[in-house]
Structure 1
Amino acid sequence: MEQLLQSLKIGINEKIYVKDPQSSALGKRIVEESILMINDMGFESFTFRKLGVHIGSNESSIYRYFENKHKLLLYLTSWYWGWLEYQLVFATNSIADPKEKLQKAIEIVTRATKEDSAFSHVNEVLLNKIVINEYSKSYLTKEVDSENKEGYFVIYKRLVARISKMVEMVDGDYKFPSSLASTILEGSLHQHFLIDHFTSLTDCHEHLAPTEYFTDLVFNSLKIDSNG
């Protein structure tokens, strides 16, 4: 798996960027440093001007890759969901039992993120924190419907569809597979946010991970026969 991940490239919708940042050293540095800066100062305070000063490059050079910082956030979150999708596919591909496969999928998408050495220009741990804190800002906009039609959220939707299919394989009569799948993904982000900022609003903590909560939620919602 590690060798395969080292050779893969996360495919992002070409309409999100002007020039593929994975195609050059500067582009990769823009991605790398923007993750560090957004994590440090927050998306609202982050600007291309500040990024340009930080990397010692003209602000105009950043605009050659991204039209604006909203598109950069879309790129970063899309990259994260694509990376998570690869983790899920590789971890579950050889599992035949539907229940075990779904359980593994829940673990993959809800666990704490560890840095992946296969992508030296992306700190996945910090990117995960950005997704937890900033992802909703990528779609809570007036342009969300047109951006959805342009395919900006296709990777996230594909990940939901994969988990939804796994739910159906466990319980074909369950009426809400897509709702449950999206709840796992969105809910996991929310639980991790609560752990960091509103501990009194969640039962999850250092010794009781969101993975345990969502495993309990999912398998208490599905009907599993005695042979499953």
Structure 2
Amino acid sequence: MKNLLSTIKIVVPEKIFIKDPETSDLGKRIIEHSIQLIDEIGFDHFTFKKLGAEIKSNESSIYRYFESKHKLLLYLSSWYWSWIEYQMVFETHNISDPKEKLKKAIEIVTRSVVEDSNYNHINEIALHRIIVNENSKSFLTKEVDQENKDGYFIVYKRIIGRLNDMILVVNPDYEYSLSLASTITEGALHQHFLNDHFKSLTNCNGLKTPATFFVKLAIDTLTH
């Protein structure tokens, strides 16, 4: 799978950026250091001025790629979910048993992330922490309906759609397949957050991971 992934360009909706950061060294440095900086200080305290200082470039140069830090967060979120989607497609492709295929897909969406050497300018572990802590800020805005119409969340919605399809193969009569798929996807982020910050509010820990919880939740729900 690694050899295949190394040849694939992670696709982000074009309306999110002004200039594709993957097309230049400066753009890649913007992505690399924005991940480092948001992970370090949080999205609320992150600014293009601070990012410019990190990459030793004018703040105006960043605006040639993204019109706002909100659009940059949308880019990072879309990149992350596209990366997860490729893993889901490749790792479940040869699994014929519907239940095992669904288990694997849930594991991919909910598991802890390891660094992927195919993308040297992106620290996937730090990006996962950003998604856990900041992902909701990409859509909890007044502009969410228009941004949804413009396709900004298409990759995230495809992830849920793929899970929905797998759920229905396991149990075609289950009435809440989309609700279950979105609960798994978003709930995993929440369980990772609780495990990091509010351990007394979750059973997830080093032995019981969000992945094991959501696999059990889904299979028990669909087969009992």
Corresponding residue of 1:113: 113
Corresponding position of 1:215: 215
Partner of 1:177 in structure 2? Answer: 177
Match of 1:166 in 2: 166
TM-score, normalised with respect to structure 2: 0.99
- Spell out the pairing of 1:55-94 with structure 2 (5 A cutoff): 55-94=55-94
Unaligned runs of 5+ residues in structure 2 are none
Aligned-partner SS, 2:207? coil
Q: Deviations over 1:111-162 (max 9, x none)?
A: 1100000001110000000000000000000000000000000000001000
Paired residue total = 224
Q: Distance in 2 between matches of 1:62 and 1:196?
A: 32
Deviations 1:75-113 (A, max 9, x none): 000000000000110000010110010011111111110
What is residue 24 of structure 1 aligned with on the other side? 24
Separation (CA, whole Å) in 2 of partners of 1:13 and 1:204: 34
2:40 corresponds to which residue?
Answer: 40
SS at match of 2:15: coil
SS of the residue corresponding to residue 205 of structure 2 reads coil
1:59 deviation in Å?
A: 0.4
Secondary structure of residue in 1 paired with 2:141: coil
Q: What is the distance in 1 between the residues matched to 2:102 and 2:108?
A: 10
Q: Give the residue type in structure 1 aligned to 2:13.
A: N
Query: What is the match of residue 8 of structure 1?
Result: 8
In structure 2, what residue type is equivalent to 1:47?
T
SS in 2 for 1:45: coil
Partner of 1:49: 49
Q: Kindly provide the amino acid, as one letter, of the partner of residue 143 in structure 2.
A: E
User: Which amino acid in 2 is paired with 1:8?
Assistant: I
Post-superposition shift, 1:13?
A: 0.8
TM-score, normalised with respect to structure 1: 0.97
RMSD: 0.7
Once the 2 structures are TM-superposed, how far is the Cα of residue 223 of structure 1 from its aligned partner? Answer: 2.6
- What corresponds to 2:152 in structure 1? 152
CA distance in 2, matches of 1:214, 1:109: 10
Note the alpha carbon deviations across 1:175-204, whole angstroms, 9 max, x for none: 011111111110000000000000111011
**Offset, 1:7:** 1.1
After superposition, where does 1:95-106 map in structure 2 within 5 Å?
A: 95-106=95-106
2: CA distance, partners of 1:47 / 1:212: 37
Moved over 3 A (4+): none
